[in-house]
Structure 1
Amino acid sequence: MEGADEGVDNILDSKDLQKQSKAFDKLTDRVEDRQLDSTRVQEAMASISASKEADIQAARLREKELAAVKINAADVEIIANELEVD
Protein backbone atom coordinates (compact mmCIF):
# COMPACT_ATOMS: atom_id res chain seq x y z
CA MET A 1 0.00 0.00 0.00
CA GLU A 2 2.93 2.29 0.66
CA GLY A 3 3.97 2.00 -2.98
CA ALA A 4 0.57 3.30 -4.06
CA ASP A 5 0.88 6.25 -1.68
CA GLU A 6 4.28 7.08 -3.18
CA GLY A 7 2.78 7.07 -6.66
CA VAL A 8 0.04 9.48 -5.55
CA ASP A 9 2.65 11.74 -3.96
CA ASN A 10 4.69 11.73 -7.19
CA ILE A 11 1.60 12.65 -9.21
CA LEU A 12 0.78 15.47 -6.79
CA ASP A 13 4.38 16.70 -6.94
CA SER A 14 4.22 16.55 -10.73
CA LYS A 15 1.00 18.60 -10.77
CA ASP A 16 2.51 21.07 -8.33
CA LEU A 17 5.58 21.42 -10.55
CA GLN A 18 3.35 22.01 -13.57
CA LYS A 19 1.46 24.74 -11.72
CA GLN A 20 4.72 26.34 -10.66
CA SER A 21 6.02 26.16 -14.21
CA LYS A 22 2.89 27.84 -15.57
CA ALA A 23 3.09 30.52 -12.91
CA PHE A 24 6.73 31.15 -13.76
CA ASP A 25 5.88 31.39 -17.47
CA LYS A 26 3.19 33.95 -16.71
CA LEU A 27 5.64 35.93 -14.63
CA THR A 28 8.25 36.03 -17.39
CA ASP A 29 5.60 36.99 -19.96
CA ARG A 30 4.67 39.99 -17.88
CA VAL A 31 8.30 41.09 -17.71
CA GLU A 32 8.50 40.96 -21.51
CA ASP A 33 5.30 43.00 -21.76
CA ARG A 34 6.77 45.57 -19.41
CA GLN A 35 9.86 45.81 -21.59
CA LEU A 36 7.65 46.41 -24.62
CA ASP A 37 5.72 49.02 -22.68
CA SER A 38 9.00 50.66 -21.75
CA THR A 39 9.83 50.95 -25.45
CA ARG A 40 6.43 52.50 -26.11
CA VAL A 41 6.96 54.98 -23.31
CA GLN A 42 10.35 55.96 -24.69
CA GLU A 43 8.85 56.46 -28.15
CA ALA A 44 6.02 58.56 -26.72
CA MET A 45 8.45 60.67 -24.71
CA ALA A 46 10.59 61.24 -27.80
CA SER A 47 7.50 62.31 -29.72
CA ILE A 48 6.46 64.69 -26.95
CA SER A 49 9.97 66.12 -26.80
CA ALA A 50 10.01 66.69 -30.56
CA SER A 51 6.59 68.35 -30.39
CA LYS A 52 7.74 70.58 -27.54
CA GLU A 53 10.84 71.60 -29.50
CA ALA A 54 8.66 72.46 -32.50
CA ASP A 55 6.40 74.59 -30.28
CA ILE A 56 9.40 76.41 -28.80
CA GLN A 57 10.80 77.05 -32.27
CA ALA A 58 7.43 78.40 -33.46
CA ALA A 59 7.24 80.69 -30.40
CA ARG A 60 10.74 82.03 -31.14
CA LEU A 61 9.78 82.71 -34.74
CA ARG A 62 6.61 84.51 -33.60
CA GLU A 63 8.63 86.64 -31.16
CA LYS A 64 10.97 87.65 -33.98
CA GLU A 65 7.99 88.63 -36.13
CA LEU A 66 6.49 90.68 -33.31
CA ALA A 67 9.83 92.34 -32.57
CA ALA A 68 9.95 93.55 -36.18
CA VAL A 69 6.69 95.52 -35.75
CA LYS A 70 7.30 99.25 -35.23
CA ILE A 71 5.20 100.99 -32.60
CA ASN A 72 4.66 104.75 -32.42
CA ALA A 73 4.77 106.32 -28.97
CA ALA A 74 1.78 108.49 -29.90
CA ASP A 75 -0.29 105.38 -30.61
CA VAL A 76 0.64 103.89 -27.24
CA GLU A 77 -0.33 107.16 -25.51
CA ILE A 78 -3.73 107.24 -27.23
CA ILE A 79 -4.46 103.62 -26.31
CA ALA A 80 -3.36 104.18 -22.71
CA ASN A 81 -5.59 107.26 -22.41
CA GLU A 82 -8.58 105.47 -23.95
CA LEU A 83 -8.23 102.44 -21.69
CA GLU A 84 -7.28 104.57 -18.68
CA VAL A 85 -4.11 102.60 -18.00
CA ASP A 86 -1.81 104.15 -15.41
Structure 2
Amino acid sequence: MLVNGVRVSADPALNNEEIVTLVHDEIRLWHQRNKTLGAIELTLDGESIIIRGHEKSPIRRVRRITGYLSTVDQFNDAKRAECQDREVHAG
Protein backbone atom coordinates (compact mmCIF):
# COMPACT_ATOMS: atom_id res chain seq x y z
CA MET A 1 0.00 0.00 0.00
CA LEU A 2 1.18 3.52 -0.77
CA VAL A 3 0.04 6.59 1.19
CA ASN A 4 1.32 10.02 0.04
CA GLY A 5 4.39 8.38 -1.51
CA VAL A 6 5.16 6.36 1.63
CA ARG A 7 5.30 2.57 1.30
CA VAL A 8 3.12 1.08 4.06
CA SER A 9 3.16 -2.38 5.60
CA ALA A 10 0.29 -2.68 8.07
CA ASP A 11 -1.30 -5.29 10.30
CA PRO A 12 -4.50 -6.59 8.62
CA ALA A 13 -6.49 -5.70 11.75
CA LEU A 14 -5.95 -1.98 11.05
CA ASN A 15 -8.49 -0.32 8.78
CA ASN A 16 -7.59 2.10 5.98
CA GLU A 17 -8.70 5.18 7.91
CA GLU A 18 -6.43 4.27 10.85
CA ILE A 19 -3.52 3.58 8.53
CA VAL A 20 -3.86 6.86 6.63
CA THR A 21 -4.16 8.85 9.88
CA LEU A 22 -1.07 7.19 11.37
CA VAL A 23 0.95 7.72 8.20
CA HIS A 24 0.00 11.41 7.95
CA ASP A 25 0.94 11.94 11.61
CA GLU A 26 4.27 10.21 11.09
CA ILE A 27 5.00 12.23 7.91
CA ARG A 28 4.38 15.43 9.90
CA LEU A 29 6.74 14.30 12.69
CA TRP A 30 9.49 13.39 10.22
CA HIS A 31 9.03 16.71 8.42
CA GLN A 32 9.56 18.55 11.72
CA ARG A 33 12.95 16.78 11.97
CA ASN A 34 13.79 17.76 8.36
CA LYS A 35 13.68 14.13 7.24
CA THR A 36 11.62 12.32 4.61
CA LEU A 37 9.65 9.21 5.50
CA GLY A 38 10.09 6.53 2.84
CA ALA A 39 8.41 3.50 4.39
CA ILE A 40 6.47 2.64 7.52
CA GLU A 41 5.58 -0.61 9.28
CA LEU A 42 2.48 -0.68 11.51
CA THR A 43 2.13 -3.71 13.77
CA LEU A 44 -0.15 -4.49 16.69
CA ASP A 45 1.13 -5.49 20.12
CA GLY A 46 -1.96 -6.08 22.22
CA GLU A 47 -3.65 -2.69 22.52
CA SER A 48 -0.63 -0.78 21.19
CA ILE A 49 0.37 0.03 17.64
CA ILE A 50 4.10 -0.17 16.98
CA ILE A 51 5.26 2.29 14.34
CA ARG A 52 8.60 1.73 12.59
CA GLY A 53 9.56 4.41 10.12
CA HIS A 54 12.34 4.21 7.56
CA GLU A 55 13.99 7.26 6.05
CA LYS A 56 13.84 7.81 2.31
CA SER A 57 17.39 7.94 1.02
CA PRO A 58 18.12 10.16 -1.94
CA ILE A 59 19.68 8.48 -4.96
CA ARG A 60 23.21 9.61 -5.66
CA ARG A 61 24.81 9.18 -9.04
CA VAL A 62 28.55 8.69 -8.98
CA ARG A 63 30.50 8.73 -12.23
CA ARG A 64 33.99 7.47 -12.87
CA ILE A 65 35.85 9.96 -15.03
CA THR A 66 39.50 9.24 -15.83
CA GLY A 67 39.79 7.04 -12.76
CA TYR A 68 38.24 9.47 -10.25
CA LEU A 69 34.84 9.02 -8.60
CA SER A 70 32.69 12.13 -8.52
CA THR A 71 29.03 13.04 -8.13
CA VAL A 72 27.37 14.80 -11.05
CA ASP A 73 26.73 17.97 -9.03
CA GLN A 74 30.52 18.53 -8.92
CA PHE A 75 30.87 18.47 -12.73
CA ASN A 76 31.52 21.64 -14.70
CA ASP A 77 28.93 22.82 -17.25
CA ALA A 78 30.59 21.05 -20.18
CA LYS A 79 30.77 17.69 -18.40
CA ARG A 80 27.10 18.01 -17.28
CA ALA A 81 26.06 18.71 -20.88
CA GLU A 82 28.07 15.69 -22.03
CA CYS A 83 26.23 13.47 -19.51
CA GLN A 84 22.84 14.75 -20.65
CA ASP A 85 23.71 14.13 -24.32
CA ARG A 86 24.80 10.50 -23.79
CA GLU A 87 22.72 7.76 -25.37
CA VAL A 88 22.13 4.34 -23.85
CA HIS A 89 22.60 1.52 -26.32
CA ALA A 90 20.96 -1.86 -25.74
CA GLY A 91 23.37 -4.58 -26.24
TM-score (norm: length of structure 1) = 0.24
Larger radius of gyration: 1
Bigger strand fraction: 2
User: Normalising by structure 2, what TM-score?
Assistant: 0.22
